Structure 1
Amino acid sequence: MSSILSRGTADGAADGAATLRIVAAIVIGTDGRHLLVRKRGTTSFIQVGGKIEPGEAPLAAMVREAEEEVGLRFSPERVEVLGRFDAPAANEPGHVVDAHAFLVRLLPGETPRAQAELEELVWIDPDVPAVSPGTTPSRQFSIAPLSLDLLAAWAARR
């Protein structure tokens, strides 16, 4: 594993807000599009990931969350460490996230599916993240602050 991004801080993170320790993954399909998911009862799309359990290592949390949320089973060796990012929490007002970010490139035949608490998943063009390609007409949607930061960091490294 190698670290390819440095720690970033999103503008607007609230001082004194409660912090949630999470993992988040940029999941890239074989066509170069990025996977975003939406939890049931929410409006913002986010990366695959979730809260780190007490005593759990961030990489182990990422592998677990990917399997729970989208049914992807991959070995830790396939995961690249991107770094850590802070941002306002999209679905929990008054909170910020301290996210361990990762990158996973899907292999041919790997197909994520929305399960557990997820309502929906979309594939986006990372260069035009607010629009979902492949739908007619193209659908615009809300993307969480952390996800926007990760997309910007991805664009900067390319």
Structure 2
Amino acid sequence: MRPLRRQRMAIGLFLLFGSAITLGVVLFALQENMDLFYEPQKIVGGEAPIAKRIRAGGMVEVGSLAHEPEGLAVSFVLSDLRGSRFEVRYQGILPGLFREGQGVLVVGQLDASRVFYAKEVLAKHDENYMPPELLDMGEDS
């Protein structure tokens, strides 16, 4: 084999090997940071994985919100309004828009008893929402 051809083959193999390693690292990073979304029906039906970080969305059932007397622990029931419901437990300060009857998105893990332990709670709002600070600025004018 001529030296020029050998050099081209070495460069080609190096680029191919480097691309494969880069693709592997990117796919691994995406897999670690990707949270799949599950509806309440799928969580109750046992389709959601246990002890794996997932997202779930639904409506907070009216009358289900319970605050612990000590600390920031809260629990509530998330429903899809079609009969599927599950308990969510959260330790922290709830978002300002959080209320019963409101849509929320929770990020966390299910345990073996199908209780969802949320690490993050995001409250949904409609397109007409305006933060209180902006409302106050509008009244001052």
More strand by share: 1
Report if TM-score (shorter chain) is over 0.5: no
TM-score where L is the length of structure 2: 0.23
TM-score where L is the length of structure 1: 0.21
More helix by share: 2
Tell me which structure has the larger Cα radius of gyration. 2
Higher relative contact order (CA 8 A, sep 6+): 1
